[in-house]
């Protein structure tokens, strides 16, 4: 490729400015933090992000409900933590789910989903390897299930997205294999936008020296694809029905 097709940064920016009809000289370059920002600087940024999240918690929760509904989530709440288990059981009963799998996030210690499901005649299965169940058995359990239930790592108000990070006790198939899915979202997990998410996770990456999960599942509504004859189809590559339970 000719050398003139590889302009340096200044020349490239000048061409962009000319295309936009801007003739005033560029006095300074914007101060964007680099991906290799020093740890103290990233910690300071995260403190600012967390403070903003605390102040805007109610506003972010409301916005998440709106954007998630627009993205075809069935949104429930915000509701009190004491009501959440019965809401989940009601959803499962409405779906006529017989086989339900769930993950093992901390939220299940506060929301006793198992008891509520059993009262509705549904026996949930924790999708995690153990002494009596190897990892190879998890795939079959997930694909046989009618409904999967997980907590989330974060939820993004701007896009109506739930972020699920697979790790020990949290198999990604729980949110991907069953035809229906429920996400339990607590108020302190709701972020305003993706910039806040990347600020938080970048700090974790820096502190752990890169020892972070290599897979993250962003769920922004039911599975959609137009690969088949360019026709939009729901539920081919994941759940076709998704519910979000917001816990205030």
11 in a structural domain: no
Angle at the Cα of 234 from the Cα atoms of 218 and 143, rounded to 5 degrees: 70
6 in a structural domain: no
Q: Whole-prediction pTM value?
A: 0.79
The answer for residues whose C-beta is within 8 angstroms of residue 50's C-beta and 6 or more apart is none
Alpha-carbon distance 113 to 194, whole Å? 29
Alpha-carbon distance 142 to 146, whole Å? 9
- Average pLDDT estimate for 223-241: 63
Alpha-carbon distance 88 to 149, whole Å? 9
Task: Give the domain extent around 105.
Answer: 39-247
14 in a structural domain: no
CATH code at position 207: 3.40.50.10420
Backbone torsion region of residue 77, taken as left when φ is above 0, otherwise alpha when ψ lies between -120 and 50, otherwise beta: left
Task: To the nearest 10°, report the CA torsion of 59, 61, 66, 70.
Answer: 140
Angle at the Cα of 31 from the Cα atoms of 216 and 53, rounded to 5 degrees: 45
163 in a structural domain: yes
Alpha-carbon distance 161 to 152, whole Å? 10
220 in a structural domain: yes
- Is cis: bond before 78, omega within 30 of 0? yes
| pLDDT tens by residue, 196-214 | 999 999 999 888 887 777 7
18 in a structural domain: no
Query: How many domains, the chain?
Result: 1
Q: Over 80: is that where the pLDDT of 88 sits?
A: yes
Task: To the nearest 10°, report the CA torsion of 130, 111, 197, 202.
Answer: -40
100 in a structural domain: yes
Closest CA to 138 of 178, 182, 179: 178
Q: Over 90: is that where the pLDDT of 73 sits?
A: yes
19 in a structural domain: no
Closest CA to 95 of 173, 151, 147: 147
Alpha-carbon distance 133 to 127, whole Å? 10
| pLDDT tens by residue, 32-52 | 555 556 888 899 999 999 999
> Mean pLDDT for the chain?
85
Residues found in the chain: 248
Alpha-carbon distance 146 to 143, whole Å? 8
Give me the pLDDT at residue 13, please: 75
């Amino acid at each position: 490729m000719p050398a003139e097709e590889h302009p340096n940064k200044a020349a490239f920016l000048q061409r962009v400015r000319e295309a936009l009809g801007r003739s005033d000289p560029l006095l300074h370059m914007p101060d964007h933090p680099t991906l290799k920002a020093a740890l103290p600087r990233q910690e300071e940024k995260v403190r600012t992000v967390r403070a903003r999240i605390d102040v805007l918690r109610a506003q972010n929760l409301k916005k998440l409900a709106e954007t998630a509904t627009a993205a075809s989530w069935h949104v429930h709440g915000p509701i009190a933590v004491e009501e959440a288990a019965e809401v989940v059981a009601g959803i499962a009963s409405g779906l006529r789910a017989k086989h339900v799998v769930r993950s093992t996030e901390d939220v299940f210690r506060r929301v006793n989903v198992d008891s509520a499901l059993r009262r509705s005649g549904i026996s949930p299965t924790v999708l995690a390897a153990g002494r009596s169940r190897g990892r190879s058995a998890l795939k079959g359990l997930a694909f046989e299930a009618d409904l999967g239930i997980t907590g989330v790592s974060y939820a993004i108000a701007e896009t109506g997205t739930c972020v699920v990070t697979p790790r020990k006790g949290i198999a990604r198939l729980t949110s991907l294999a069953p035809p229906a899915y429920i996400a339990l979202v607590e108020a302190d997990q709701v972020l305003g936008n993706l910039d806040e998410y990347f600020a938080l996770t970048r700090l974790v990456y820096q502190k752990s020296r890169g020892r972070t999960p290599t897979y993250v599942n962003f769920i922004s509504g039911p599975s959609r694809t137009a690969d088949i004859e360019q026709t939009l189809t729901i539920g081919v590559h994941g759940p076709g029905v998704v519910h979000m339970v917001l816990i205030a």
